[in-house]
Amino acid sequence: MTVTTQLKVQDFTKVISRQVNATADQVMHLITLDITNRALDLVTANTVTDGQSGAFLGRSKAGDPPYQDTSRLADSIPEARQVFRQGDQVTGLVGTAVEYGAYLELGTRRMKARPFLRPAVTASVAGGLDGKVRRKFGGRA
């Protein structure tokens, strides 16, 4: 007795495509979360005032991440994080929802930049993000 099964390549392609898309979404979420956390570390590392006495400690220097004055900038970074899909393309966005975030990041004609997003991306890549992704999804670091 012989049993014959006919499989269509299209059936496998759909299953594989769904798995690849789901993994791509997970990878993008992991990447944007890592960058978000690093940006938060940068903007919350120093404060403008002493927490106990309230004494003014000074402003951040040009080229350094901004000091935390209120928590608006830090609170807005996770809120602005997005991952979305358009067809086969997955896009991740990390930013800030406060208007002055762009002025701090890029500077103005009157103020030098106090970047926090670009250094977060650089630190994420230098900090072994590739290895984290590989470990998470079963590859070799």
Q: What is the tens place of the pLDDT at every residue in 40-64?
A: 999 998 887 776 776 777 788 999 9
Residue 111 forms part of a structural domain: yes
Count Cβ atoms below 10 Å from residue 104 Cβ, excluding itself: 21
For residues 38 and 77, the answer to whether their CB atoms sit within 8 Å is no
Residue 4 forms part of a structural domain: no
Q: What is the pLDDT of residue 94?
A: 93
SS3 85: strand
Residue 5 forms part of a structural domain: no
Q: Which residue range forms the structural domain that includes residue 102? A: 10-136
Scanning the structure block, which residue is given the tokens 């670091």? 141
For residues 109 and 3, the answer to whether their CB atoms sit within 8 Å is no
Q: What pLDDT band is residue 3 in, cutting at 50, 70 and 90?
A: low
Number of structural domains found in the chain: 1
Token pair in block for residue 20: 């690849």
Residue 2 forms part of a structural domain: no
SS3 136: helix
Residue 141 forms part of a structural domain: no
CA distance 86 to 15: 19
